[in-house]
A and B are shown apart, each in its own frame.
Chain A
Amino acid sequence: MSNLLNVTSAPHVRAKDDTQRIMLYVILSLVPAAVFGIFNFGISAAVMIALSIGSCVASEYIFERIVKKKSTIKDLSAVVTGLLLALNLPGGMKLSYWWMPVLGGAFAIVIVKMLYGGLGQNFMNPALGARCFLMLSFAGVMTDFSNYKGYADTFGGATPLATIKNGGLESVDLTRLFLGNIPGTIGETSALCLLIGAAFLIVMKVIDIRIPLTYILTFSVFALIFGGHGFDLTYLAAELCAGGIILGAFFMATDYVTCPITPVGKIVFGVCLGLLTGIFRIFGGSAEGVSYAIIFCNMLVPLIERFTIPNAFGIVKEKKEGKS
């Protein structure tokens, strides 16, 4: 036979979505928040976003060249990491700190992602790993939100979350928290823009609602019980709209690689995140706690998965019958 046909194992057809397309959806979903960040914080936000993405993509490319691996930058995952890292940098950062997103991007890609084997192998969200590295190393710059020009007088340079923590709940305007013209990190301020992006991801079936839902619900219950404001929905709304919980819950806790793959595991993961964020925000020294909660829970993923292996179809019944 000279004319042999292609032989492969079934199935012989494939769905359309590939990794690159999924990453593209994630990038698109973050565009509203990024654009709002530039609108809210000015040109420095645009520069930081560009530098962060550029640093991530370049780091991945150079690293793979050095270790002689096939370049994977086309899968766009480095762009997602760069974008998320930038959205987690303080809005209004001075341009003289241009090296921060560059350093952060390189740290995210080389240390957190590539050294562990690249896409799919890292145990911690690269963008958050880098953010926490920058927070610990350059705490002053990373927690300086005073360059916000739009409305700084009201908050005196503090984020709304810090204002609430310091007993200033009354001075917080909920509508503005929702729309986002407040100080904060580049991408976290507009709950509205983030929710539009999140809805897009859910509709496109890119993310599963389980993690963000259980995360936010658990945090809400925790905040209402321990927040010290009683059953005050204004307080709860302010806690949810201010700070990074929406960005974290929908865009970073749902990072495929660093969340459990088991369906029950996703719920456990969301509950752990809600509890930790609550503890960090209410009992911790800082007003914010989303980033640390997520990277801490990233470490719990193997453990969570181990205890949440689902029973195969038709197995539960057999066990019950066996016991009776």
Chain B
Amino acid sequence: MALGTFKGGVHPFEGKDLSKSKPITELVPTGLLVFPVSQHIGAPATPVVKPGDTVLKGQKIADASGFVSSPIFSSVSGTVKKIEKRRTTTGDMVNAIVIESDGKFEEVAYEETKNVSSLSSEQIISKIRDAGVVGMGGAGFPTHVKLSPKDPGKIEYIIANCAECEPYLTSDYRRMVEQPEKLVEGMRIVLQLFPKAKGVFGIEDNKPDCIEKLQQLTASEDRMSVAPLKTKYPQGGERQLIHAVTGRDINAKMLPADAGCIVDNVETLVAIYHAVRFGRPLTNRIFTVTGDAVSDPRNFYISIGTSYTELLEAAGGLSGEAQKMIAGGPMMGFALFDLDVPTTKTTSALLCLTEDEASKYETTACINCGRCVDACPENLIPSRLADFSEHGQTAEFEKWWGLECVECGSCSFGCPARRHLAQSIKTAKKQILAAKRKK
């Protein structure tokens, strides 16, 4: 069978062997849990509890403050200690609700729905919204917004992003190996919203066991299929995945829905299933702690809000000196300068590396070799865009399609002159977009 793929991309060291064979184990948090009110794209949620309040697991502690927003739930039972600015994985200071767990994990009563097929689309979408489901692959786009396109009849593909193309990460992999039924049930619910759509599970071919498992599970499903994809970074990029599965192309100004597609990642589909079938809000997720500096790389079922410090301890701590700690994967993750940050709905991994390759090398002159051009999945000329960024030539930057960059980092990865191409391009993008918003 022909593998779906896209043009460009790179092949970084996969590193998944460190943790891929480690079954998911539950991590019971002991310390304080921190819940930033902004764990999604859109308006920050508004706290609905105050210091001193006691809360149950699954209780709403912050409510959505608009359509493009999402509520936040406590993942433990306990007491609200304070509401204050806390640092997040991206380095920003965000208003956060701090809860001390009482260790009892008393839960609110959830409203189950035995017969999901009897629900209307509106009911399903409101259940997803009320459970605080957002894109858990990293972007954090509120899922109920994604599932409410202008014309649901035009959606032809629901693509499950099972690529997990970021090196080292294995949380989606473990979910697919251990609980693929949940993923399929999540897909079934989304397909119920879009009667004309087909559900496709796009999986990189470095996970043949997942491909096989999902093929078996969907064998008798008329509307579901599995699309094996070539293992290449960034195969799980939304635009790249849509191209690999459907052959359709979208640009920065379009939504997947414009190409008749909706893309949701593994954890998100599972969260949809939990929300609709069991009425359970999003309070837990799978999380990988890995890297060559970690004693015992693991996959955990975590309570959202757990501190990174606690996660690293649970994985046996560091085995040696770590030069770099990253929230997420090595290609797009955020470098941490301090582990005292909370996990959120969108954080999937802590990666600790003994060697910091990005700072080890010195940047030299661009030799115009074009490797960044070959690597760019967006068909851009990254070396020129970085020049335009460094020289402040914003008009040229836009003319050479700089705003189409998906910030995957493939250009920097392959650059033999070790230029910080992606960084320069991201900077220019931010400046140009900020200037446009001001107008």
Q: A residues bordering B, Cβ < 8 Å?
A: 1, 4-15, 17-19, 21-22, 72, 75, 77, 118-121, 208, 256-257, 259, 261-263, 309-318
Q: Do residues B370 and A11 form an inter-chain contact, with CB atoms below 8 A?
A: no
Interface check B17, CB cutoff 8 A? no
Q: Do residues A261 and B383 form an inter-chain contact, with CB atoms below 8 A?
A: yes
- New A-B contacts (16) at CB < 8 Å, excluding given A18-B364, A313-B377: A1-B338, A4-B338, A5-B323, A6-B359, A8-B356, A10-B330, A11-B412, A12-B331, A12-B358, A13-B12, A14-B357, A15-B12, A119-B365, A120-B367, A256-B369, A312-B252
B356 CB contacts on chain A under 8 angstroms: 6, 8, 12
Interface check B263, CB cutoff 8 A? no
Sample 5 A-B pairs with CB under 8 A, ordered by A number.
A17-B416, A22-B416, A75-B364, A314-B239, A315-B401
Q: Do residues B404 and A11 form an inter-chain contact, with CB atoms below 8 A?
A: no
Q: How many A-B residue pairs have CB under 8 A?
A: 171
Interface check B378, CB cutoff 8 A? yes
Contact size class for B?
Answer: 35 or more
A15 CB contacts on chain B under 8 angstroms: 10, 12, 413-416
Q: Do residues A5 and B379 form an inter-chain contact, with CB atoms below 8 A?
A: no
| Bound complex: CA A9 to CA B251 (Å) | 24
A256 CB contacts on chain B under 8 angstroms: 367-370
Q: A12-B353, A75-B364, A313-B404 are in contact. Are A4 and B337 (CB under 8 A)?
A: yes
Secondary structure at the B interface, as helix, strand, loop or mixed, is loop
Q: Do residues A262 and B381 form an inter-chain contact, with CB atoms below 8 A?
A: yes
Q: Do residues A312 and B401 form an inter-chain contact, with CB atoms below 8 A?
A: yes
In this complex, which of A5, A19, A118, A120 has the most chain B Cβ atoms within 10 angstroms of its Cβ? A5
In this complex, which of A14, A261, A262, A315 has the most chain B Cβ atoms within 10 angstroms of its Cβ? A14
Q: B residues bordering A, Cβ < 8 Å?
A: 7, 10, 12-13, 91, 167, 239, 243, 249-254, 322-326, 330-338, 353, 356-359, 361, 364-371, 373, 377-381, 383-384, 399-401, 404, 407, 409-410, 412-418, 420, 422-423, 426
| Bound complex: CA A159 to CA B371 (Å) | 38
Q: Do residues B373 and A261 form an inter-chain contact, with CB atoms below 8 A?
A: yes
User: Which single residue of chain A is at the shortest CB-CB distance from B399?
Assistant: A309
| Bound complex: CA A284 to CA B326 (Å) | 62
State which of A4, A118, A310 has its C-beta within 8 Å of the C-beta of B381: A310
State which of A118, A262, A313 has its C-beta within 8 Å of the C-beta of B239: A313
Q: Do residues B333 and A312 form an inter-chain contact, with CB atoms below 8 A?
A: no
| Bound complex: CA A314 to CA B378 (Å) | 8
| Bound complex: CA A18 to CA B252 (Å) | 32
A11 CB contacts on chain B under 8 angstroms: 12, 330-332, 358, 409-410, 412-413, 422
Q: Do residues A7 and B336 form an inter-chain contact, with CB atoms below 8 A?
A: yes
| Bound complex: CA A75 to CA B366 (Å) | 12
Q: Do residues B330 and A12 form an inter-chain contact, with CB atoms below 8 A?
A: yes
| Bound complex: CA A51 to CA B369 (Å) | 28
